[in-house]
Structure 1
Amino acid sequence: MSLADFFSPIPNREEYLNSQLGKVIVSYVDEFPDLYLDTKKPDLVIIGVEEDRASVGNNGCAKGPNEIRKHFYELYQGDYDIKITDLGNVKPGDTINDTYAAIRLIIEDLLKHDILPIIIGGGHDLTYAQYLAYEHLDQKVEVAVIDAKFDLDQANAEDSPLNSQTYLNKIILHQPDYLFNLSNVAFQTYLVSKESINMYDKLFFTMQRLGSISGKLDHAEPVLRAADMVSFDVTAIRASEAIGNANAVPNGLYGNEACQLARYAGMSDKCSSVGFYEFNPTFDPLGHTAMLVSQMIWCFVDGYYNRKQDTPLYPKSSYIIYRTPLENEEHEVVFVKSKKSDRWWMQVPYFGTRSVNERYYLVPCRYEDYQMAVNGEMPDLWWRTHQKLQ
């Protein structure tokens, strides 16, 4: 079975100006694009998913992909050459598990060919299928979810049905376990149970409240820089900015903040897939939410084409090493700063049986973490990462 068998073409496209994205994106309208020829291989592909059977309370989000495309294609490209292919929409399976299996196979194949998929439309439960695509890639995975709440079922963790409000259970409990870290960005405390927060603490996962990054959005940048895959729920954006969602809530990110987070994700050298979920055109009569999601995708693409390719440590001359001995500690904390981007990483050593090439884990951090270490305090990020490495 080829990739083409999973997709249906997009509707006939309009005429676009030379600098509009619709003019330069290769789209599946009549003939399925050839992805793997060197001369035609894209950097990014767009995958629409018309699936909402497990989207709780948001029936209609399956109609999202074509509405997002309509506005995305009208945007103008940045000052760089782009290689983007739109594969069309994944055909819904006879069962929702068939759809999950199709998404998993598609994304896994793209990842193996170093092509970054951008998934649009459908329910947030599709994040689980996105995650499954990494199972056979022989790596630990860091997942970043931008959402107003934690999609967990605390009462029935192991036996809960898979849907948009429980898929994190499936990711956390999945065997084999290749999840290194799970981050929830921009959550709202009153929408999350204390049991869920305690569980995240116990597992040393990362939590960033909406209030903690409001006006300080750069605090989320290292979290997104660390992620292999990013999943964005439109519910994270306040209803006044993104009404196109049946579960929209009064508070949340502003539209420009959502775009900035998308750009941070795109700029990460590590991010290899991204999904934008839960947009529902039924509740978006003026198309404002579709416009916003299309602009978020634009910002992700802009970030991608402005990647610095500076994940340490080669060549070493491009980095500055800072060593900060801590009082009453047996070891020092080592920081790495990129001369190219001024971004920071922290070395967290492995304390166990590892090969000579795996002496430490590099975790993205902020200058403030370095300042904390200089003042003699152990950064919380170092300690939490160390606990996961044991």
Structure 2
Amino acid sequence: MNFNFLSPVPDFVLAHNQLLSPQALGRKLRIHSAQKGIPDLEGVTIAILGVLENRNDINYLGEEFKLNDIRKSLYALYPGSWTTTIADLGDINKGESVEDTYFALKTTIAILIKKRIIPIIIGGSQDLTYANYRAYDDLIPMVNIVSVDCSFNLGDSSKPIKNNSFVGKIILDEPYNLFNYANVGYQTYFNSQEEIDLMDKLYFESYRLGQVSKDITIVEPVMRDANMVSIDLSCVKGAEVSLNQKLSPNGLDGKEICAISRYAGISNKVSSIGIYEYKPSKDDEITSMLIAQIIWYFIEGVNFRVKDDIFLDEKSFQKFITLVDTEELVFYKSNKTGRWWIEIPFLSEVNNKLKRHTLLPCMHQDYLDACSNKVPNRWYKALQRNSL
């Protein structure tokens, strides 16, 4: 197996780890060390992967960064009642060019996903999401991305890729594998009206910060439908993070970003997650601890995954049919978890990407809305995307 791109976790971090309680998370990880090399991945469910690449940050001035403080914070936490085996594979260093780093990341993620291991990527600039997306080229036909971010990052796709324009590249670069892009927590004043209009035109989903803060549970069905998740730390409000990390007085608080990460973990579909735009400061304990807790909650979520989306046994679900105008909407509710889905019909006249009835995760509220003759927004957008 080719993991030549990976450099081990530094010895001083491992020495720090040895001083922790035997019950601490760091003492239970399989860690890539200079002494022992890459750990055995047999039985591993989750792998932590650092990427020391930030050259496509629009504000890049040649600064280097390390992830040692994040590892120290994460290792010191105590695990929950978990059954998953977790590895820390160390870091992918900067390549000769950014494209080399992308290639290394894409290759490593693809190997891990094929082995049914979920990579947690801790990165520099968020354009690494593009490499994460490209890892799926030979794995699945269509990819759903959820970005937790204050901006859409559509940018000008005719220009070289940057951390504020990588989504435009994902949409327009071949092969075209993107089915849905959903943004969670955007702040309107950080996005041009053209970008907001384009999101609508492409029938992508977007949830404003106010919507998310008012009812965090709207994020759960969005995550349940995601293959990969990208978190930009700039979505967290300035009061919650270290000096270099501060972007805006408004944003998600620590509790909200951890809840969102847990929803990503619970999703049976999410097979990779990245946390990006880490900018260390001298007073950095707060940001590194926040990232450690975001990772902790994702792992917690993975440990609570329940297979409730295979509707073959009629005893495992309830089916509800309702009429909205002339449209018959079919809902399913899992008896095991109480989670809801809505059926997207097959459009025979369209050469569509979904060759069968597809179930879209939704909320109980969507069913109540349909009963009140109101078309659920997620269902409408999915149907329109499917017709494009």
Query: What is the TM-score of this pair, normalised by structure 1?
Result: 0.93
Q: Which AA in structure 1 matches 2:307?
A: Q
Q: Does 1:345 align with 2:350?
A: no
The CA deviation at 1:35 is 4.4
Separation in structure 2 between the aligned mates of residue 237 and residue 58 of structure 1, nearest angstrom: 21
Q: Which residue of 1 aligns with 2:36?
A: 31
Cα shift readout 1:236-272 (whole Å, capped 9, x = no counterpart): 0001002354562111000010100000000000000
Cα shift readout 1:20-69 (whole Å, capped 9, x = no counterpart): 11110000012233545xxx330000000111111222668852422211
The CA deviation at 1:152 is 2.3
Q: Does 1:21 align with 2:25?
A: yes
Question: Structure 1 residues 244 and 322 mapped into 2: Cα distance closer, same or farther (>3 Å)?
Answer: farther
Counting only pairs closer than 5 Å after superposition, residues 1-390 of structure 1 correspond to structure 2 as 2-12=1-11, 13=14, 14=16, 15=18, 16-29=20-33, 30-36=35-41, 40-57=42-59, 63-153=65-155, 157-243=156-242, 245-246=244-245, 248-282=247-281, 285-327=283-325, 329=326, 331-352=327-348, 358-390=355-387
Question: Structure 1 residues 18 and 34 mapped into 2: Cα distance closer, same or farther (>3 Å)?
Answer: closer
Q: Which AA in structure 1 matches 2:292?
A: S
**Residues 64 and 279 of structure 1 are in contact (CA less than 8 Å); yes or no, is this contact kept in structure 2?**
no
**Residues 312 and 338 of structure 1 are in contact (CA less than 8 Å); yes or no, is this contact kept in structure 2?**
no
Count how many residue pairs are aligned between Structure 1 and Structure 2: 379
Question: Structure 1 residues 72 and 62 mapped into 2: Cα distance closer, same or farther (>3 Å)?
Answer: farther
Cα shift readout 1:125-176 (whole Å, capped 9, x = no counterpart): 10111111011113211000001111122xxx33211111111111111211
Q: Which AA in structure 1 matches 2:331?
A: F
Cα shift readout 1:292-344 (whole Å, capped 9, x = no counterpart): 110000000000001112123243321111111223x1x41011111111111
Q: Which AA in structure 2 matches 1:32?
A: G
Query: What is the TM-score of this pair, normalised by structure 2?
Result: 0.93
**Residues 241 and 254 of structure 1 are in contact (CA less than 8 Å); yes or no, is this contact kept in structure 2?**
yes
Question: Structure 1 residues 303 and 58 mapped into 2: Cα distance closer, same or farther (>3 Å)?
Answer: farther
**Residues 58 and 246 of structure 1 are in contact (CA less than 8 Å); yes or no, is this contact kept in structure 2?**
no
Question: Structure 1 residues 301 and 62 mapped into 2: Cα distance closer, same or farther (>3 Å)?
Answer: farther
Question: Structure 1 residues 245 and 319 mapped into 2: Cα distance closer, same or farther (>3 Å)?
Answer: farther
Greater Cα offset, 93-102 or 47-56: 47-56
**Residues 245 and 287 of structure 2 are in contact (CA less than 8 Å); yes or no, is this contact kept in structure 1?**
no
Q: Which stretches in structure 2 are left out of the alignment for 5+ residues?
A: none
**Residues 55 and 62 of structure 2 are in contact (CA less than 8 Å); yes or no, is this contact kept in structure 1?**
no
Computed over aligned residues only, the root mean square deviation of the Cα atoms, in angstroms, reads 1.8
Separation in structure 2 between the aligned mates of residue 344 and residue 95 of structure 1, nearest angstrom: 45
Q: Which AA in structure 2 matches 1:46?
A: I
Separation in structure 1 between the aligned mates of residue 182 and residue 334 of structure 2, nearest angstrom: 24
Separation in structure 1 between the aligned mates of residue 47 and residue 210 of structure 2, nearest angstrom: 34
SS in 1 for 2:240: coil
**Residues 52 and 59 of structure 1 are in contact (CA less than 8 Å); yes or no, is this contact kept in structure 2?**
no
**Residues 244 and 289 of structure 1 are in contact (CA less than 8 Å); yes or no, is this contact kept in structure 2?**
no
Percent identity of the aligned residues? 37
